[in-house]
């Protein structure tokens, strides 16, 4: 009953502040959620917190939120399963919180389609910066721009859609942004630093492999349609998008 | 390999006893039945061979369990806690000893694994309050403004974070957590990446990191862990090398021994010769140069050593004249066409 009242008050709040971004926190640590909500509210975010997987999926798919902060260490339905369920139906940006040292989970999370990750325990200023960066990019990519086309790949910024050979190809927000940059620079090396800065809105950290996972996801998706590896890695520096002739 | 002394002792005692008693029997027998010299020799040699055979089998029967026990004890001491002695079927005292030894080994294994599990669980549990503290501290900053004591708190929180992360990694390597996922890893690319990433830190100290790598050195392993191990060594070198000097990283593939060797050499103060093997122990730090002011908890190289050993490799450190420390990592290379 109390929850219901709180939700109602949130809705009222939302009506007055529809410019504010709504963030959903999925974490089983109730005290942490309370602290985070308080901290995020000082930065003008409206936050909701849920503490289990199924509710998390349901809320994340409700289209009320511009971003989901998801803890991968959830009891019951694990964070990775929650992410998978969200990604089957929605491309809402997801920032995952992973335990330090659990590198496999982190990589898996990014492969399933998380936008970025933050190791827990985290610095809340860092969390806010990452949320802002992801939201800024998500907002920007919906701005109209002329579609990019290369060979049979077509990227429509206005519709936020990628087509390969006329058929649409599902991409997450982050993957879309990476592909966008690579397609703007066909044949030129785009450094990992550049990609991280413009896609994740932050500096490339040491031993930071988020961009590489996004690139590898795009590669897999393109290869499933074409069987060609369009994106070549340039050792120690970055990636380059090449034509199909060069890809083979 | 030392000679099997116990075996020789038992063998010689029994043999001498047997031969002497045979001789005394033979002497009394000879008085009643005189034999020719040739017959005497033949009996004598046959008796000697037969008794040697009997004594060999007897000595072996008695020493084999000891040899097996020793092998198991040594494996146990080297850290293989699954090791057990063979030969539990004997019904005698030696069989009892082997069985008791195995019970003891099981008990040690249980205790150690329980202790590791405890470290893992505690570190794991400590992270939730730490995560909350981080956010609460930030809220406090937001309300009360800048204060040097907040900076100190934040700094210490980061330290705690780091230590817990490393303890968890150690626990994971000691087998308290899930088993490691292994695959073929291109070490040349991995090292290039680590050196590239370490550039951020090196530039701060005006340190140059050079890399010379043989192409296509690959090993079977866990890429994340190998990367963090190599990162640890490289960052350590950057940390301790003198300002404005060079850290040399070299990756060599040795075809003959089928091993890959990585060496990281700095131009720092080095480590006293007597301490060279101890720098790989957890919480180790030398008294002067590597003191607490430098930040870490002395877990970095301990993790490196564990990671490398869990990949069937070895680590070592030497002081290089005129100055500086060289850390070497040797790993078995992955079989080709795999």
Asked which of B54, B80, B106 is the last residue of a domain, the reply is B80
Q: Which of B124, B155, B196, B239 is catalytic?
A: B124
B59 contacts: CB under 8 Å, gap ≥ 6? B7, B8, B10, B11, B14
Distances (CA, A) of B229 to B212, B222, B259, B299, B309: 18, 11, 17, 11, 11
Domain identity same for B252 and B293: yes
pLDDT at B33: 76
3-state secondary structure at position B121: helix
Structural domain includes residue B307 = yes
Token output for A9: 């008050």
Residues B238 and B292 in one domain: yes
Q: Is residue B9 part of a domain?
A: yes
The beta-carbon neighbor of A207 closest among B169, B189, B197 is B197
Is pLDDT at A113 greater than 80 in this prediction? Answer: yes
**Per-residue pLDDT, B179:** 65
Pairing mode of beta strands A67-71, B183-186: unpaired
- Across the interface, whether the CB atoms of B227 and A101 are under 8 A apart is answered no
Whether the CB of B128 is below 8 Å from some CB of chain A: the reply is: yes
Q: Are residues B216 and B286 in the same domain?
A: yes
Interface contact B334, partner A, CB < 8 A: no
d(CA B26, CA B48) in angstroms, rounded, equals 13
User: Would you call B231 an interface residue with chain A, using a CB distance cutoff of 8 Å?
Assistant: yes
Res. A161 pLDDT band, cuts 50 70 90? confident
Q: Are B162 and B188 members of one domain?
A: no
Residue A47 has pLDDT above 90, yes or no: yes
| C-alpha R_g of chain A | 19
Q: Do A124 and B138 touch (CB under 8 A)?
A: yes
Give me the CATH number covering residue B119: 1.10.287.130
Closest CA to A25 of A112, A138, A120: A120
| Percent of chain A scoring above 90 in pLDDT | 31
Q: Domain range holding B286? A: 183-332
Helix (H) / strand (E) element for A69: namely strand A67-71
CATH of the domain at B292: 3.30.565.10
- Looking at residue B296, its pLDDT comes to 53
B298 and B210 in a single domain? The answer is yes
**With the CA atoms of B276, B282, B283 and B289 taken in that order, what torsion angle do they form, in degrees rounded to the nearest 10?**
20
**Helix extents (H) in A142-205:** 173-184, 192-195
Residue B187: name the closest of B236, B223, B229 by CA.
Answer: B223
The reported pTM is: 0.66
Q: Are B144 and B215 found together in one domain?
A: no
3-state class (DSSP) for residue A239: strand
Token pair 């929850």 is at which residue? A3
Q: How confident is the model at residue A17 (pLDDT cuts 50, 70, 90)?
A: very low
Same domain, B61 and B153: no
- Structural domains of chain A ordered from first start: 2-141 (3.40.50.2300), 148-247 (1.10.10.10)
Q: Answer yes or no: B124 catalytic.
A: yes
Residue B323 and residue B192 share a domain = yes
Confidence (pLDDT) at A3: 47
Q: How far is CA A128 from CA A30, A45, A46, in A?
A: 19, 10, 13
Q: Do A103 and B142 touch (CB under 8 A)?
A: no
Of B80, B105, B139, the one marking the end of a domain is B80
* Pair A101, B165: CB distance under 8 Å: yes
Confidence class for position A1, pLDDT limits 50, 70, 90: very low
pLDDT tens-digit profile, chain B (338 residues)? 567 788 888 888 888 988 888 888 888 877 777 777 777 778 778 888 888 898 899 888 888 888 899 999 988 887 778 888 887 788 888 888 999 999 999 999 899 888 888 888 888 788 889 999 999 999 998 888 888 889 899 888 888 887 887 787 777 777 655 666 778 888 888 898 888 888 878 888 889 999 988 877 889 888 878 888 898 899 889 988 888 899 999 999 888 888 999 999 998 888 888 888 888 877 676 655 444 444 455 677 888 888 898 888 899 999 988 888 999 999 998 876 44
Are the beta carbons of A124 and B157 separated by less than 8 Å?
Answer: no
* Together in a domain, B211 and B304: yes
Q: Is the pLDDT of residue A160 over 70?
A: yes
**Which residues fall within 8 angstroms of residue A20, CB to CB, at 6 or more apart?**
A14, A44, A45, A46
Q: How far apart are CA B237 and CA B246, in angstroms?
A: 10
Is residue B73 one of the residues assigned to a domain?
yes
Res A104: pLDDT: 75
Answer whether residue B27 is part of any domain.
yes
* pLDDT at A62 > cutoff 60: yes
Contact B26, B86 (CB under 8 A): no
- Token pair in block for residue B35: 């034999």
Residue pair B240/B232 in contact (Cβ under 8 Å)? The answer is no
Residue B62 shares a structural domain with residue B201: no
Interface confidence, given as ipTM, is 0.73
Q: What is the mean pLDDT of chain A?
A: 83
Q: How far is A142 from chain B (nearest CA, A)?
A: 32
Residue B104 inside a domain? The answer is: no
Q: Quick check: is B110 in a domain?
A: no
CB contact under 8 A, A35 and B165: no
| Chain A contact present for B171, CB below 8 A | no
Residue A13 has pLDDT above 70, yes or no: no
Over residues A98-114, mean pLDDT = 81
Letter string b/e over residues A85-124, b meaning 16 or more CB atoms within 10 A of that residue's CB: bbbeebbbbbbbbbbbbbbebbbbbbebbbbbbbbbbbbb
Better-predicted residue by pLDDT, A180 or B295: A180
B186 touches chain A (CB under 8 A): no
Mutate to test the interface with A, among B131, B224, B228, B231 (most CBs of A within 10 A): B131
- Domain end among B28, B60, B80: B80
Do B192 and B309 share a structural domain? Answer: yes
Chain B residue closest to A42 (CA)?
Answer: B142
- Considering the domain architecture, whether residues B124 and B207 belong to the same structural domain is answered as no
Please answer whether residues B164 and B126 qualify as being in contact, where contact means their C-beta atoms are separated by less than 8 angstroms.
yes
Enter the DSSP assignment of B268: S
């Amino acid at each position: 009953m109390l929850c219901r009242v709180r939700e109602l008050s949130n809705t009222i709040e939302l009506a007055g502040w529809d410019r504010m971004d709504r963030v959903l926190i999925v974490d089983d640590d109730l005290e942490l959620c309370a602290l985070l909500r308080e901290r995020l509210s000082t930065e003008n975010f409206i936050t909701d917190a849920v503490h289990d997987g199924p509710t998390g999926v349901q809320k994340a798919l409700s289209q009320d939120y511009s971003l989901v902060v998801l803890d991968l260490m959830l009891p019951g339905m694990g964070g990775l399963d929650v992410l998978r369920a969200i990604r089957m139906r929605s491309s809402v940006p997801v920032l995952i919180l992973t335990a330090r040292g659990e590198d496999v989970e982190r990589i898996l999370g990014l492969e399933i389609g998380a936008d970025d990750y933050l190791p827990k325990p985290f610095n809340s200023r860092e969390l806010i910066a990452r949320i802002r960066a992801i939201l800024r990019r998500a907002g920007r990519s919906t701005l109209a721009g002329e579609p990019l086309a290369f060979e049979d790949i077509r990227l429509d910024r206005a519709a936020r859609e990628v087509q390969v050979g006329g058929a649409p190809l599902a991409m997450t927000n982050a993957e879309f942004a990476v592909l966008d940059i690579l397609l703007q620079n066909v044949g030129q090396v785009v450094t990992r630093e550049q990609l991280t800065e413009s896609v994740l809105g932050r500096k490339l950290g040491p031993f930071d492999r988020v961009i590489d996972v996004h690139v590898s996801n795009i590669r897999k998706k393109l290869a499933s349609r074409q069987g060609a590896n369009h994106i070549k890695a340039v050792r120690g520096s970055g990636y380059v998008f090449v034509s199909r002739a060069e890809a083979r | 390999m030392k000679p099997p002394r116990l075996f020789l002792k038992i063998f010689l005692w029994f043999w001498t006893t047997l031969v002497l008693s045979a001789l005394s029997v033979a002497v009394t027998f000879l008085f009643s039945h005189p034999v020719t010299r040739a017959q005497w020799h033949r009996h004598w040699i046959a008796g000697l061979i037969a008794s040697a055979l009997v004594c060999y089998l007897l000595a072996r029967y008695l020493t084999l369990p000891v040899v097996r026990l020793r092998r198991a004890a040594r494996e146990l001491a080297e850290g293989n806690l699954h090791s057990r002695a063979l030969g539990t079927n004997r019904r005698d005292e030696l069989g009892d000893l082997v069985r008791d030894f195995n019970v003891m080994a099981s008990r040690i294994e249980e205790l150690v694994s329980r202790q590791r599990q405890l470290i893992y669980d505690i570190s794991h549990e400590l992270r939730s309050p730490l995560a909350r503290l981080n956010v609460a501290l930030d809220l406090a900053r937001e309300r009360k403004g800048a204060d040097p004591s907040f900076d100190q708190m934040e700094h210490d929180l980061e330290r705690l974070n780091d230590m817990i992360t490393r303890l968890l990694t150690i626990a994971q390597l000691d087998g308290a957590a899930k088993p490691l996922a292994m695959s073929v890893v291109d070490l040349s690319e991995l090292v290039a990446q680590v050196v590239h990433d370490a550039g951020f830190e090196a530039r701060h100290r005006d340190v140059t990191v050079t890399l010379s790598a043989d192409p296509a050195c690959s090993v079977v392993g866990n890429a994340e862990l190998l990367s963090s191990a190599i990162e640890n060594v490289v960052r350590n070198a950057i940390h301790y090398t003198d300002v404005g000097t060079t850290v040399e990283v070299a990756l060599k593939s040795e075809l003959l021994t089928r091993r890959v060797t990585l060496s990281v050499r700095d131009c720092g103060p080095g480590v006293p010769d007597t301490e060279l093997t101890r720098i790989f122990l957890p919480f180790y730090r030398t008294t002067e140069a590597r003191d607490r002011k430098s930040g870490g908890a002395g877990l970095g190289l301990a993790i490196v050593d564990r990671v490398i050993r869990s990949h069937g490799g070895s680590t070592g450190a030497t002081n290089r004249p005129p100055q500086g420390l060289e850390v070497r990592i040797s790993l078995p290379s992955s079989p080709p066409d795999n």
